[in-house]
Structure 1
Amino acid sequence: MTGKTHIIGGITASLAFAQITNYEPVLLVGAGVLGAVIPDICHGGSKIGRSLPVLSKIINGLFGHRTFTHSLLFLALIAWLLSKFMPVEAISAGLLVGMISHIVLDMATKRGVKFFFPFKWTVRFPITATTGGASESLVFALLSLLTVYFGYGVLFAL
């Protein structure tokens, strides 16, 4: 998936999560957007990879793309670090929700992810989308509609 699809996925997931929690929606969604791009730190051409090129190159050299940073192990490590060093729960939750949305969206591509890293098993859905293709445009459109729906729910729950 492209960066814009990951970002809208992070927004959608964060707004949906905001409806079932008491976290501040603005913090949750802001962190969700950041979380939605973090797993692609392993790809130098990604939005975050271009922002942090040295870190991106190191991580890619160590692990490759869609392996460690797209895994359950990475999610657990980040969750643990956030529990120790992030005093604002809404930000921690948003980051994790955004990261999970990113990984789930990449599971919907032909390449899938190495979700159980360090095992080399590829996890992907039976129906996949082509990155940058018409099927991704459809995913983006559906996520946009869901963003409006969940955003409406959050707005009127305040």
Structure 2
Amino acid sequence: MTGKTHIMGGVASGLALAHFTHYDPVLLTAAGALGGLIPDICHSGSKIGRMAPLLAKIINVLFGHRTFTHSLLFLIIVNSLIAAFLPNDSIRAGILAGMVSHIILDAGTKKGIKLFYPIKISVRLPFTTRTGSAVEHAVFAVISVIAVYFGYEAFAGYTDLF
């Protein structure tokens, strides 16, 4: 999936989480967008990989693309680091929601992901598509509608913004 789809997936996940929790919807939305990008730190051509090219190259050489950074192990490690250095629950929840959305979206690609890394089993959804395809554009549109719905719900009573 492309960066814009991952960002929108993170935003939609953060807003959906805001709908069902007491967490701050602004922080969840921003953190969800960031979390939607983090797993692609293994790819130097990704949005986040271009921000930290040396780190992206090192991770790619060590692990490859859609392996370690798309695994449950990586989620656990990132959660632990966030808990240690960013004790804000809204930010932590948003980043994790965005990362989970990223992993689910990439599981919908032909290659799939190594969800159980270091076990080398590829996990794919029953339906797959190619990055940048018309199907991905449709997925982006659906995720955008979901984000608008949950965004309206999350911010309807949020008077601090106005």
Q: Distance in 1 between matches of 2:4 and 2:157?
A: 27
- Matched ranges for 1:84-103 at <5 A: 84-103=84-103
The match for 2:148 is 148
**Equivalent runs, 1:46-85 vs 2, <5 Å:** 46-85=46-85
Deviations, residues 86-135 of structure 1 (Å, cap 9, x unaligned): 12111111111110110000001111100000000000101112110100
Q: Partners of 1:157 and 1:102 in 2: how far apart?
A: 29
Could you give the per-residue CA deviations for residues 34-57 of structure 1, whole angstroms, max 9, x where no partner exists? 110000000010001111000000
Q: Which residue pairs with 2:9 in the alignment?
A: 9
* Residue 127 of structure 2 is aligned to residue 127 of structure 1: yes
User: For each residue in 1:13-43, what CA deviation from the matched residue of structure 2 results, as whole angstroms up to 9, or x when unmatched?
Assistant: 1100001111111111101111100000000
C-alpha distance in structure 2 between counterparts of 1:37 and 1:78, whole Å: 13
2:20 aligned counterpart, secondary structure: coil
Distance 1:118 1:75 in 2: 13
Q: Which amino acid aligns with 1:72?
A: L
Q: Would you say the 8 A contact 2:25–2:155 is kept in 1?
A: no
After the TM superposition, list the runs of 4 or more consecutive aligned residues in structure 1 that deviate by more than 2 angstroms: none
The one-letter amino acid paired with 1:10 is G
Shift of 1:81: 1.4
Deviation at residue 157 of structure 1 after TM alignment = 4.0
Which residue in the other structure is 1:42 paired with?
A: 42
3-state SS of the aligned residue for 1:127? coil
| Deviation (angstroms), 1:70 | 0.2
For residues 53 and 6 of structure 1, the distance between their equivalents in structure 2, rounded to whole angstroms, comes to 19
Separation in structure 1 between the aligned mates of residue 144 and residue 90 of structure 2, nearest angstrom: 23
For 1:134 and 1:72, how far apart are their aligned partners in 2?
Answer: 29
Query: Considering only aligned residues, what root-mean-square deviation do their CA atoms show, in Å?
Result: 0.8
Percentage of identical aligned residues: 58
Structure 2 letter corresponding to 1:30: A
Deviations 1:58-86 (A, max 9, x none): 00010000000000000011111122221
- Give the SS at the match of 1:19: helix
Give the AA of the match of 2:2: T
Q: Distance in 2 between matches of 1:39 and 1:157?
A: 33
8 Å contact kept, 2:35–2:96 = yes
1:108 alignment partner in structure 2:
108
Query: Could you tell me which amino acid in structure 1 is paired with residue 70 of structure 2?
Result: H
1:20-39 map, 5 Å: 20-39=20-39
Aligned length: 158
Q: Can you give the 5+ residue segments of structure 1 that lack an aligned partner in the other structure?
A: none
For 2:146 and 2:87, locate their aligned partners in 1 and report how far apart those are by CA, in whole Å.
30
